[in-house]
């Protein structure tokens, strides 16, 4: 049993770490304009990433990408998450955020939707959540009713990241509400300029991102725009979800690592009552616990990624990773804030932003309680 990363991934991790330290952390307090990364900053960094061979890392080689496996992406994601220079959701400077369902499109769909995304000509958003269906997509009310060679879509989506700029949506809708998530949901490619699609409003959040609400009023979508077969919507959406959970776990790992570094450094400099904080047991314990918990979680996340790459991972493992990684991120960010005292609360420091981001990862793409619920189900069924 080998617990070390393969040499090529250690080198990749080091390259990304240096990129984050030299290019991203120094500009992280000025790189964003609200929810958006400043276009000139993004363009410059994308150019540098391309020159370093850090572009389209998870895109399969047949589409011109690097074809990194999940373990490779995990080490990249955890390094990237050490900085707040980029939005916590959406495209990084290493290429657009492409859900893997787009690689399952048929040839005509790839021509119209996947390739323009890869070339940077089109933007897309994933639209599943609704006012009454967040954790529980089976409760969704948006319907797609077949009408000859079209589907007519009616409904309302909420919390859709990037929808205001998207050219098309990967939309999940009910084709059979009685079946819910057990075969009743289907996934469609919906151009956002189709009559009847309307971005109603943005919802500002404490993290600074502004997901959108979208109304669908008798939207006519060609039947050829269905992804896979009717009723396969959950399967299509799920195809990204293990990677999505790992992504969120890595966000937590990255936040924890950066906060740990900040804590160690601050505890050594800051003197109270005549001694550095580093000499106080209360502070030492917070740092020692954070270090231990980070190490344990990193092992869990790496192991899950390696087992997923080998086709050996059980579903329960991604639930564990999401719970452990996201809760670690928030816990360590919170300790970091505490150790920094007032400076932990100052918005001129990155800590409060990491703390807010880390809090959100415990909710988005499946709250930790729902992860625990489905994990417990797997345990009781003896399927772990
Ligand atoms: C910034 C942001 C970006 C997002 N981007 C997207 C996107 O791009 N596309 C998209 O489709 N969605 C997106 N979402 C939606 C996100 O995935 C949902 O918010 C999330 O799944 C939770 O759904 P909900 O908010 O409706 O919470 P609910 O489902 O109403 O749950 C509320 C709370 O109840 C508790 N809970 C729920 N069910 C259970 C249970 N069974 N047992 C115990 N406790 C439970 C949990 O604590 C949960 O946090 C985004 C959300 C945010 C905030």
pLDDT by residue (tens digit) across 248-282?
999 999 999 999 999 999 999 999 999 999 999 99
Contact present, 64 and 55 (Cβ < 8 Å): no
Residue whose tokens read 């939207």:
219
Range in 39-53, 170-184, 224-238, 295-309 with the lowest mean pLDDT: 224-238
Say how far apart CA 39 and CA 208 lie, in whole Å: 17
**What's residue 52's pLDDT?**
94
The residues annotated as belonging to the active site are: 365
At 67-87, the pLDDT tens digits run 999 999 999 999 999 999 999
At 191-238, the pLDDT tens digits run 999 999 999 999 999 999 999 999 999 999 999 999 999 998 777 777
Say how far apart CA 372 and CA 97 lie, in whole Å: 27
The stretch 313-318 carries a mean pLDDT of 81
Residue whose tokens read 């391309």:
50
The tally of CA atoms less than 13 A away on the side-chain side of residue 76 is 21
What are the backbone angles phi and psi of residue 69, rounded to the nearest 5°?
-80, 180
Give the confidence band of 314 by pLDDT, cuts at 50, 70, 90. confident
At 213-225, the pLDDT tens digits run 999 999 999 999 9
Between 233 and 166, name the one with better pLDDT. Answer: 166
Give the confidence band of 384 by pLDDT, cuts at 50, 70, 90. low
**What's residue 234's pLDDT?**
79
**What's residue 313's pLDDT?**
79
Contact present, 219 and 153 (Cβ < 8 Å): yes
Question: CA quadruple 68, 73, 75, 76: dihedral positive or negative?
Answer: positive
Nearest ligand 1 atom to alpha carbon 362: 49
The tally of CA atoms less than 13 A away on the side-chain side of residue 329 is 31
Question: Average pLDDT, whole number, for the chain?
Answer: 94
Buried b (16+ CB within 10 A) or exposed e, 359-371: bbbbebbbbbeeb
**What's residue 229's pLDDT?**
92
Nearest ligand 1 atom to alpha carbon 89: 3
Say how far apart CA 272 and CA 96 lie, in whole Å: 46
Instruction: State pTM to two decimals.
Output: 0.95
> What proportion of the chain, given as a percentage, has pLDDT over 90?
87
Say how far apart CA 186 and CA 199 lie, in whole Å: 21
**What's residue 335's pLDDT?**
98
**What's residue 242's pLDDT?**
77
User: How far separated are the first and last CA of the chain, in Å rounded?
Assistant: 21
Say how far apart CA 111 and CA 99 lie, in whole Å: 16
Say how far apart CA 72 and CA 306 lie, in whole Å: 9
CA of 327 to the centre of ligand 1 (A): 16
Give the confidence band of 181 by pLDDT, cuts at 50, 70, 90. confident
Burial class of 164 by CB neighbour count within 10 A (0 to 12, 13 to 18, 19+): middle
At 103-149, the pLDDT tens digits run 999 999 999 999 999 999 999 999 999 999 999 999 999 999 999 99
CA of 19 to the centre of ligand 1 (A): 33
Say how far apart CA 237 and CA 231 lie, in whole Å: 11
The stretch 30-53 carries a mean pLDDT of 94
Residue whose tokens read 């270090």:
291
Ligand 1 is surrounded, with C-beta below 6 A, by: 89, 125-129, 134-135, 159-161, 205, 209, 211, 360, 363-367, 369-370, 373
CA of 136 to the centre of ligand 1 (A): 8
Q: Residue of the nearest CA to atom 48 in ligand 1?
A: 367
At 319-352, the pLDDT tens digits run 999 999 999 999 999 999 999 999 999 999 999 9
């Amino acid at each position: 049993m080998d617990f070390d990363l393969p040499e090529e991934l250690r080198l990749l991790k080091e390259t990304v770490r240096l990129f984050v330290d030299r290019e991203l952390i120094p500009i992280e307090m000025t790189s964003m304009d609200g929810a958006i990364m400043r276009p000139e900053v993004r363009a410059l960094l994308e150019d540098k990433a391309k020159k370093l061979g850090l572009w389209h890392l998870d895109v399969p080689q047949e589409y011109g990408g690097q074809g990194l496996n999940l373990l490779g992406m995990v080490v990249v994601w955890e390094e990237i998450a050490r900085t707040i220079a980029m939005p916590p959701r959406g495209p990084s400077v290493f290429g657009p955020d492409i859900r893997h369902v787009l690689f399952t499109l048929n040839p005509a769909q790839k021509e119209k939707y996947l390739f323009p995304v890869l070339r940077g000509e089109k933007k897309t958003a994933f639209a599943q959540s609704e006012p009454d269906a967040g954790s529980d997509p089976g409760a969704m009310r948006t319907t797609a009713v077949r009408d000859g060679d079209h589907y007519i879509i009616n409904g309302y989506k909420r919390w859709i990241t990037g929808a205001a700029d998207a050219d098309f949506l990967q939309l999940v809708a009910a084709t059979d509400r009685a079946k819910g998530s057990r075969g009743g949901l289907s996934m469609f490619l919906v151009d956002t300029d189709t009559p009847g699609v309307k971005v109603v409003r943005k919802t500002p959040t404490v993290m600074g991102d502004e997901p959108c609400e979208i109304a669908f009023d008798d939207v006519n979508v060609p039947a050829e725009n269905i992804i896979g077969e009717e009723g396969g919507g959950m399967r299509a959406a799920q195809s990204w979800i293990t990677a999505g959970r790992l992504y969120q776990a890595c966000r937590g790992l990255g936040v924890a690592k950066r906060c740990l570094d900040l804590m160690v450094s601050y505890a050594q400099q800051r003197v109270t009552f005549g001694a550095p904080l580093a000499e106080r047991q209360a502070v030492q314990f917070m740092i020692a616990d954070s270090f231990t918990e980070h190490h344990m979680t990193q092992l869990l996340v790496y192991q899950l990624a390696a087992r997923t790459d080998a086709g050996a991972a059980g579903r329960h493992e991604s639930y564990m990773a999401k719970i452990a990684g996201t809760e670690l991120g928030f816990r360590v960010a919170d300790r970091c804030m505490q150790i920094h005292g007032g400076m932990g609360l100052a918005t001129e420091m990155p800590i409060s932003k990491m703390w807010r981001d880390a809090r959100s990862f415990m909710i988005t793409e499946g709250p930790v309680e729902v992860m625990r619920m489905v994990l417990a189900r797997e345990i009781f069924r003896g399927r772990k």
